[in-house]
Structure formats: C-alpha cells, structure tokens
Structure 1
C-alpha cells in the first residue's frame, strides 16, 4: 500500500504538546486470529432478512440443529438488539447469538456498540471496482498472515510499524507518560500492531509478569549465590564495553530486568477489584491488562495501548461446534474486563475492541465458511455514544454492490477510519492522525462517531 517501504512518523513536525494528554486513556485490541465469521456474530433479525439469511446458510443451520440442546441460531433464541440509531437501517433489525449474552447486556447499558463491515481498504471500493480492478486493493487479500499484518499495520507480513504503535509514538512525543516502558503492552507475544518508532512493546504472560529464569526463580540454579552472579553477568556490570552493539544490548537487558521487577512488585498486592474473570485464555489475559491498568500511577502512564489475542476462528469446517465456544469466551472475558474498569473508576477511560484477519463468506461449504474480507466488530467501553451500530450493514443476499463473491463483504468502513476514531478519542489532533495513518486522507469520513463529546 506504500510500496513496501513502511510507515514512519515525522515526529519533528509536531509541537511536543499538541496531543491532548490529560487524564488517563487506554485502548485494548482483542485480536481474533483466524478470521471470525461476522455473519455468525451479528445476525439479521427482522423476519424477511432472517429468512433470506437462513436460506443461504441452511446447511450450516442444519449443523446447529444437530447440537445437544437445539439450535442456538433459531430466531426465537437470538438476542435482538435495541439500537439507539435503529432508524438508520430503515426497519431492519439485528440480533446477537445467545453466547454473546454478556455483551448484549452491555448494549442495554450503552457500553457496547458494533462497527459493521470494517476492513482494510486503500480507497473506497465497490463490487464493480473489485471485479474490474479499477481501484487499488489491499495487498494479498484473503491470506491469513498477510491480512493480520494489513489489519495491524496497513502492509502485508514484514511490516515494521503498526497503527497502535504509531498512535503511541505521538503520545510519547507529547510526553504523555513519565516512563515509556509500559506505553504499549502485549499479552500475546510480539505483535506489529504495537510496534512504533518510539514505542517498544512490553510483553507479559497470561498470568502476569514473566519470571526470569536464573535470576528470579530460586529453584532454577543450584546455588544461592549464582542468581546474583548471573544477573551481574547479564547486566555487564563488571565489564567495559567498547562495542556500540554490546552497549545497546546491555542497556536493553538492564531496562528489561528493571521494568519486569517494577511490574512484578506491583502484582504482589491483591487485585484492586472484586470482579471475577472467567478462567479461559482471553479472560486470563484481560485480567492481567486490568491489573496493569490498576498500576497506572505507579508506572507513570497516562496513555496505554494493549494487545490480547485468541485463535480458533479459521472455521472451514465444524463451525457450529467451535464458534459458540469462542463467542462465549469473548463475551464473558470482555464483560468481566469492563466491570473491572468500572470498579477502578476508569470505565469511561478504557475502550476495548475486536479485530481479526478478515470476515468470512456468507455462503457455506456444508459445515464451515471460507476466508472473507470485511467484518463486523465489537467495541466495549463506558465512553461510547450509546448502543449503536455504525457503518453500512449489507443485506444478507448475494451479488449486492459490496459482495466480492460468495457473500465475501467488501468493507464500507476502512481500518484507517476505525483507527482514526480511536486515535481522536485517545487525544490525537487531525495533523497527528494524518501522519500516524497515511491512508486516512483517502476517506471523507475521519470519525465514525463511536464516542460521546470531544476527544478529552
């Protein structure tokens, strides 16, 4: 999308305090690896469109019918949504599957919204544009690894900077945080989404800060004296280093050890919330994120971006057996996370959102679905502008203006617009958004209206 060169912020352009850095704000990206089926997540509910949808998905619905307890996709078991902007959809109605019940409750509390048909775009694209190749398209569509990277960084696998890292760079340039170490934090390994020029991601495990074997693990080395010697060696405390690479490496090791200990010490006290998180992988990760947020004053941060992730969404077969469980994990974990932020007094200051490789086809291959493009995503937080669905929700038919084939949705909201909306809430001004998101200038709408009021 940019000739493979990679994005780089022109940080020198900015007044160091242009971004709004007051108070506390955090973004949490919940990445669903494998491509979550958006058509099985937000479901048409008015009779006409539900019947059209059920007809196209009849073979998959038969699989739901075979499940113990009966089909959870039967219309009378769905959870209809009462949208604050229902009039935008001309009488059409929508529902969530029962496994997303905890998030349906949050919609009733005006703390959950949906962004429909969002995905990577270079410029706005229609079905004719796609078929005639008359508009530039994102690179390597429908490839898992590449589309994960395009979602996170606007480029295929090999990208250097992600939009989360670029938003964080602006905040670090504006001196939003006393210490940059905990600005971007991942519980799901090293991810390009958090990679910036100034922002270096700090990784924690799903159970909290890592134990550094040989230093912090008393059982790892045979002698009580060895951990101190080993730490001294890693820190190069008694060495004179003339090589610049050696110096940089030693400096990085020192910062890592010190930062990990700072965070580990903060985790020694009981969690400052009573919310019980579900004992699933996503719940464990979000509980760690909540614990880190609770230490924001100790860590010296006003702005943070987190990345958590789970897999299991590449549902080419057996979708009726897998997706309900994944939905249940998402809903229970995100609900608990929101409740914990409310307990800590930052419910309006923390926003979590889902992202994924891509959506999936509306058509099915007997008991599964194939790789798609645009998808519907969930946003949770107390600062949202009520229970709404944003964007365009194509009808459940084939060969409409935004069908690239088999009900594979062409996005009507770009990831750049999605990211810019979060960036504005995070505190970036228009100039900073344009620099952090170079593709944003190709779209007329810069803020899709997720949040109430001004950015701060």
Structure 2
C-alpha cells in the first residue's frame, strides 16, 4: 500500500480512533519526561545538555575491568595452599596439582604451571590475591549466589533487585533518565541477566549478548533517520521508536568512533572467547571511549566431573588473555590506568567428588591485576582445610563487599555518599590493595586543558594551535574538513605539562587547500575539545 493510499485507508482512520498524539506520548512517557526500556536499558528520547558527557566530570581517568568466572571457580586448584599441602592432597587424591607442576608465589602459596602467563605479573608487582573471599551462610545455587554477588545483599528473604554498581550510579547520575550521558557509563559483554549494573529503574551498562555483537556495533555503528515520516500518529510512533533506538545507537556511534581511532594488537592467542572480549575492551579504552567499567566473562567453571583437563584449559585461557590484554594496553601506555579483577559466585568443595570433580563450595580467592597494585602479595588469611562446615566447605575470611568498598573508595575515587548507597548503608573493611586517590593519581578534567585556540600568522598565512595543559597527559589531536573527514593527525601521545604550539594549516604535503576546518583535541579518558579555523 502506498503512503498516500495508507493515509486515506480505513486502517489509518481506525488507528486515529484508538490513539491521539497526546495520548500516545503520555502512555509512552514522553509528555512527562519519562523513559522507555529498550534492550534492557531505560533510555530517554530527550536530548538535554544539562548532563553533557557525565563521564568527563569524573576526577578519575581510571578503568575497572571485571572478569566473571561463571560456574564457580575452584580456588584451591587456582591458588594452591602449599603450607598445608598434605591435607590438600588427602582431600583431592585424583585432582590435586602435583608439586612439580607448581609455580612458587611465596612460601605458603603456589599456582599451577598452566597459569604461567601470570608469572610476569607476580614477579613485577602487578598481581594480588585476596584469600578466602565469600560471605556467611554461603548459598550454593548458581542463580542466587550470583545475585548476592551482584546486588551486595545476602538476605534472601529481603532481596534487592539493584546491583552494587547500579546503586552507585543511581546516586552519581541522578538525572540519567532524562539526560543520558554521551558515552556509556559501563560496557558489559555477556552475562546479560546479571544484576550488577541494575539501578532502581534502569541498567547503566551498554550490554551486548556476546563479543561478536559488540564487534559488529564497534565496526559499523548504526542510527535511524527521523526525517520524512508520515504526518500522523503512526509517524509519531515511528519517530519515537527511532529516537529511542538512536539513543542506544548514539552509544553505538561513539563506540564505533573509539574502535576506529584505536590501534589493533595481533598477539592474542585466539580470536574468540575471553581473548576477543578483552581485545575489544582494549581497543575501546585506547580509542578514548571513556567508559569507567567493563565487564567480561568466561564460562565453564562448574566442574562437577573430569575437572582436571577442563579447569586447566580455563585457567590457561584466562591467564593468556589477561597477559595479552595488558601487553596490548602497554603498547600505547594505557596499562597504568587499568585495574582488572576476577570474581565467581562461589568456590568449590574442599574434597573431590566421585566423578573426579568438585561440587559447589564457598570461599575462593579473588585475583587482581595491573601496575596500579604497586607490589604483588596476598590479602587476608586462607581458610582452614580442616575446620569445615557440615557440607565440607571452608569458612570465608574476607567479605566480598570489602573488595567492592575498596575498589569504589580507593580506585574509582567515589564520593562517600554514593559508596554508602552502593553498600546499602553498611561499612566494610578497606583492604589496602596498593592504590589510592592521591592528587598524582587522578586527573581534574575540568581544568586539565584550560586554554586552546587557533593563532593566525599574517606573514605566511600559517595557522597554529596554541594550548596549555596543566599536567602531563595522553592527548590525541586531529584535524578535519568541514564535512567531518579526517585530514591529519597532529599529535598522539603523552603531552608534558606546559604550553605547546602545533601547525594545523599544513600536512606532510604542504599547505592545506583554502577553506574551513576544525581541530579536535581528545584528552584520553576525558572530554574532546574542538574549534573551527580557516586556511586562506
């Protein structure tokens, strides 16, 4: 049916009998400045500058990468308590790691040699292990315990539906619904049912089902036209849905821009799974996306049977991917800004079962990686292998929420009121993981680059960019023509504190053609600044 015939059709008239414009907008929440859920994310169609790029207002340019080990990782075969090796072997006669296959970490602990890719982290002070992480009254259901870890609440009779990071961002971005930031607060690959980023009425993560989906978004970027739509309620409906989609795809567009402006790294062991997820995360970090938190996952840790080979493969894959990820970041100088952390819904039982595997357990280690740790070591005491509960599981020695509170306080440098909301009003011990929020570790983006302007020279018609930067920081400066096409990369790298001058009217071939151009200064991890200039 043609557009003209449709407007005159019975179907069109019936549509108007059921809907009027105001009614449609009111039901969908537009008239009341509301939002609609799309792709498990509450998104507003209003475009206000009140909260323009909320991420850029953060003082910290640090990034947190959460690595979820889905299924319940066996901590005793990840970090082996050699101080009580005889008990360990007696509990696991078939699946223990032999002494000649261990890499020494300290007098008390070792890790299996199939985790050898992490040796350099330990030797160079870039790995810490928190022992015995869990909570009292460990629940052994994958779903319930995953929810406990995500929400920070272990009260099953009064479960909350918001995640610890969702509550944090509820406080930090109170008007997110009506004024969504220009860049995603967090990016989540897989684990879409996980509640960790759930706020009171929205999910704060740009979430995709798998790494292949994120790669497609990153490579292409997409948006829908809202022009030339029918002048009727049907057109209003279509426009609304496209605007909502465009809010989502605005994120797809900035993800695409970060992906394209980043360098690639080809030393990952595979092109799938955790390797692919972390490769994409590295590209987005290096491309200046500005998201503070990324969450990736690797499954298969529910090792009830034939554990030895399965667990070896998983830990080998994890170790290789983490090493490649940090090597990737280090090539462009981003590794010092990224902290990674593993977590799993529970550990495994101390004793092996009759299927050469282990059943659901309790406490397990959390591993952290990155140069910000400033020294390798162990946090907390290891649970006893002999003093077990009635199910044969260990008692935890560190509450998992202590890690959350430490990361929010000492790594993301959060406001105490926001952190209090994230922790449901409870206080947990700070663990002292080696980092803090000293002035030298954070960046005040509001004042980092307090002057930039094009300067015109009369004698040779040259145009220069003059700028002043308050502290040394990684900067990318590019020029574009009036159509937005990239013309030249002026500078990319660490720019030392002080005043600088760059020629922007010339490239390697000489003077640019006469016309209007603009430069773009990207402060990595923060805002992008730009101004127009004219070449005569």
Measured after TM superposition, the shift of residue 386 of structure 1 is 0.9
Measured after TM superposition, the shift of residue 81 of structure 1 is 0.4
Measured after TM superposition, the shift of residue 208 of structure 1 is 6.1
CA distance 1:154–1:428, shift in 2 (3 Å): same
Measured in 1, the distance between the counterparts of 2:240 and 2:381 equals: 49
The runs of 5 or more residues in structure 2 that have no matched partner are 1-53, 443-536
What is aligned with 1:192?
A: 195
Does the Cα contact within 8 Å between 2:171 and 2:421 map onto a contact in 1? no
Measured after TM superposition, the shift of residue 54 of structure 1 is 0.8
What is aligned with 1:95?
A: 110
What is aligned with 2:420?
A: 434
Measured in 1, the distance between the counterparts of 2:377 and 2:266 equals: 26
Measured in 2, the distance between the counterparts of 1:105 and 1:202 equals: 33
Structure 2 residue 82 is matched with structure 1 residue 45: yes
Does the Cα contact within 8 Å between 1:36 and 1:313 map onto a contact in 2? yes
Q: Which has the higher strand share?
A: 2
What is aligned with 2:434?
A: 451
Structure 2 residue 274 is matched with structure 1 residue 282: yes
What is aligned with 2:532?
A: none
- More contact order relative to length (CA 8 Å, sep ≥ 6): 1
CA distance 1:423–1:74, shift in 2 (3 Å): same
Q: How does 1:127-206 map to 2 (within 5 A)?
A: 137=137, 141-155=139-153, 159-172=160-173, 179-190=181-192, 191-197=194-200, 200-204=204-208, 205-206=210-211
1:81-137 Cα shifts (integer Å, max 9, x gaps): 04xxxxxxxxx5100011111112201111111111112x3xxx5xxxxxxxxxxx4
Measured in 2, the distance between the counterparts of 1:439 and 1:407 equals: 33
Measured in 2, the distance between the counterparts of 1:239 and 1:305 equals: 42
Measured in 1, the distance between the counterparts of 2:165 and 2:329 equals: 21
CA distance 1:358–1:240, shift in 2 (3 Å): farther
Does the Cα contact within 8 Å between 1:241 and 1:247 map onto a contact in 2? no
Structure 2 residue 354 is matched with structure 1 residue 352: no
Measured after TM superposition, the shift of residue 405 of structure 1 is 3.4
Does the Cα contact within 8 Å between 1:159 and 1:192 map onto a contact in 2? no
1:149 match: secondary structure: helix
Measured in 1, the distance between the counterparts of 2:243 and 2:204 equals: 14
Measured in 1, the distance between the counterparts of 2:282 and 2:419 equals: 27
CA distance 1:76–1:21, shift in 2 (3 Å): same
2:196 match: secondary structure: helix
1:438 match: secondary structure: coil
Measured in 1, the distance between the counterparts of 2:74 and 2:366 equals: 10
Does the Cα contact within 8 Å between 1:39 and 1:362 map onto a contact in 2? yes
What is aligned with 1:252?
A: 244
Measured in 2, the distance between the counterparts of 1:450 and 1:174 equals: 33
TM-score normalised to structure 1 length: 0.73
CA distance 1:349–1:361, shift in 2 (3 Å): same
Structure 2 residue 54 is matched with structure 1 residue 54: no
The runs of 5 or more residues in structure 1 that have no matched partner are 1-16, 62-72, 83-91, 126-136, 218-226
Measured in 1, the distance between the counterparts of 2:171 and 2:327 equals: 29
Measured in 2, the distance between the counterparts of 1:438 and 1:180 equals: 28
Aligned with 1:417 (options 398, 402, 410): 402
Measured after TM superposition, the shift of residue 20 of structure 1 is 8.8
Aligned with 2:300 (options 293, 299, 312): 312
1:351 match: secondary structure: strand
Measured in 2, the distance between the counterparts of 1:261 and 1:193 equals: 25
Q: Report which stretch shifted further, 351-360 or 161-170.
A: 161-170
Structure 2 residue 334 is matched with structure 1 residue 334: no
Measured after TM superposition, the shift of residue 352 of structure 1 is 0.8
Measured in 2, the distance between the counterparts of 1:39 and 1:353 equals: 18
Measured in 2, the distance between the counterparts of 1:275 and 1:171 equals: 37
Q: How many equivalent residue pairs? A: 372
Q: Which has the higher helix share?
A: 1
Measured in 1, the distance between the counterparts of 2:235 and 2:414 equals: 39
CA distance 1:268–1:428, shift in 2 (3 Å): closer
Does the Cα contact within 8 Å between 1:168 and 1:199 map onto a contact in 2? no
Measured after TM superposition, the shift of residue 374 of structure 1 is 1.5
Measured in 2, the distance between the counterparts of 1:51 and 1:420 equals: 36
